[in-house]
Structure 1
């Protein structure tokens, strides 16, 4: 058996990919605290495009058809505001707490898939979503009980819920997009369109970046590419239902990086709420029909 086919390699690559993206969140939080979430998000998109576009173009690709262009545009618009609201939320909330709350996105996606794709929602999926909702209440309730749910925290949670809703819709678009375009093309248009869409708000939100911000921004862009490629490599070699649990390692990574970068602790309500949300996501994943990597 060749090493490339070892069953643990895809799992390890997916785990590493989630780690890369969690570390990217930490560097983006650092940059966003320096120059604002908007400027940091726009600059990351620009740097990411500069990194990935030459790789895609070097392969001599054919230009997308009109139908594929529409999918790229929809995903670019959705992802732009998904990223902006998420990066804004992590300037107001601890990293681990934000990641924990963002785990509700797959549960929201169940209902969007029902509305947009006509998929059936099973009893297991409904129970899973209730667990996820309960976990959210535990995390937010923990903040209220500790007297930490001030205006900033409320704004951070609201922003994160908007991001999670957009991320859930993103799942639906990705399913369609992955069937008609390759990973490099998707990554190129995802960064480029997202950055261009956000630039329309520059007259209102742009904050001139300080030189020091370009270090975490560049590292964040590189980590985004590394994380995306690691996860794509893993999903090309193992079934989605095997790799889904690696997504939840993001909470562990976020807790580690949140403490290392910002000395953020993790409260008991956050741990308990995360356990409920992850259990709900796990039940939903088990209840869902198996999908090929291209559809994940």
Structure 2
């Protein structure tokens, strides 16, 4: 274990994912979201395959035990990407990022419902606080008057639906990791998303110009590299330690949104995202504390329990 290396890898992955989202956003006015998912997924596959070869994990990366488990994880993830990419064309980058923070909160509820995970009062309380923060972020989009406001409201709804589907994908991942390798989950996610994105062909794919094509291909390559950095980060540090660094994406989104897209964050968006981030960090901190207590208790037991 090397915690500092794990943190550095996680921050790099978060930054690269934000670069990927920025490249998708830059092409959103021209390229349909389903086509963007194809580029994002297809051009990540060569990167992942090279990584598997270098790790000596090609055999394990291509071997699966639950084809349907990988399919449903890929289907929910692909749908989440389509909705997220569509929302990027309608809302500022920081706002889409803030609404996306609802995903881990929804995952808590879905894990309790679908996986039977025990959720204590503290976590439920923080989930409710976090959802209040999401509502604060969404509040300016609840009034629909002009066409611009209507488009923004649709974008907010798509971003929230994307967060819900991402949380469902996380539930499938929690089930898959019990009997599948990390490399197979990473590879078949990109493969499944690539194939499912072709379903959107009838909805008007376009031939992107050289600049747009370069950005879309770049999004796929960067996304693949980010996935590798993220996976490697968890090999060097506990999940409870590096999980809070997910929220560094807001800092990156604010900087990129302002510098590249001239997006100025509103006070309401910042206030709401602060509440959501606070609730998320509180859940992570609490679970880490409980994990340490459980570990201490186990270490104090005799060999016979």
**Could you tell me the TM-score, scaled by structure 1's length?**
0.89
Structure 1 pair 107–202 and aligned structure 2 pair: CA distance change class (3 A): same
Task: State the distance in 2 between where 1:73 and 1:33 align.
Answer: 30
Task: Give the Cα–Cα distance (whole angstroms) in 2 for the partners of residues 146 and 15 of structure 1.
Answer: 37
**Across the two proteins, how many residue pairs are aligned to each other?**
286
- Which is higher, the Rg of structure 1 or of structure 2? 2
The answer on whether the counterparts of 1:39 and 1:208 sit within 8 Å (CA) in structure 2 is no
* Structure 1 residues 20 and 140: alpha-carbon distance in aligned structure 2, compared to 1, 3 A threshold: same
Match of 1:203 in 2: 202
Deviating more after overlay: 178-187 vs 85-94: 178-187
Q: How does 1:40-189 map to 2 (within 5 A)?
A: 40-53=36-49, 55-56=51-52, 59=56, 60-61=58-59, 63-65=62-64, 67-143=65-141, 150-189=149-188
Contact map agreement 1:241 1:285 (CA 8 A) in 2? yes
| Contact 1:45–1:192 (CA under 8 A) maintained in structure 2 | yes
SS at match of 1:87: helix
Q: Distance in 1 between matches of 2:84 and 2:254?
A: 17
* Residues in 2 aligned to 1:225 and 1:280: alpha-carbon distance in whole angstroms: 29
TM-score (norm 2): 0.86
1:184 to partner: Cα distance: 3.2
Q: CA deviation at 1:80?
A: 0.8
Do the aligned residues in 2 keep the contact of 1:90 with 1:98 (CA within 8 Å)? Answer: yes
Bigger mean CA offset, 94-103 vs 119-128: 119-128
Of stretches 136-145 and 181-190 in structure 1, the one that deviates more from structure 2 is: 136-145
> 1:139·1:269 contact (CA, 8 Å) conserved in 2?
yes
Offset of residue 150 of structure 1: 1.0
2:23 corresponds, among 20, 24, 27, to: 27
Work out whether residues 35 and 197 of structure 2, in 8 Å CA contact, stay in contact via their aligned partners in 1.
no
Measure the CA separation in 1 of the matches of 2:218 and 2:202. 26
- Residue deviations 1:43-93, cap 9 Å, x none? 22221223323554684415434x422221111111110111001111101
Work out the CA distance in 2 between the residues paired with 1:290 and 1:145. Answer: 44
Q: CA deviation at 1:100?
A: 0.6
Bigger shift: residues 144-153 or 253-262: 144-153
Shifted more, 201-210 versus 154-163: the winner is 201-210
Give the Cα–Cα distance (whole angstroms) in 2 for the partners of residues 40 and 145 of structure 1. Answer: 30
Equivalent in the alignment of 1:267: 266
Gaps of 5+ in 1: 292-296
CA distance in structure 1 between the partners assigned to 2:143 and 2:77 by the alignment: 34
User: In the alignment, is residue 242 of structure 1 matched against residue 241 of structure 2?
Assistant: yes
Match of 2:218 in 1: 219
Shift of 1:261: 1.8
Deviation, structure 1 residue 282:
1.5
Decide which moves more: 74-83 or 217-226.
217-226
Q: Using the TM superposition, give the Cα deviation of residue 286 of structure 1 relative to its aligned residue in structure 2, in angstroms.
A: 2.9
Q: Deviations over 1:104-147 (max 9, x none)?
A: 11110111011111112211112111211211221122455898
1:232 deviates by 1.3
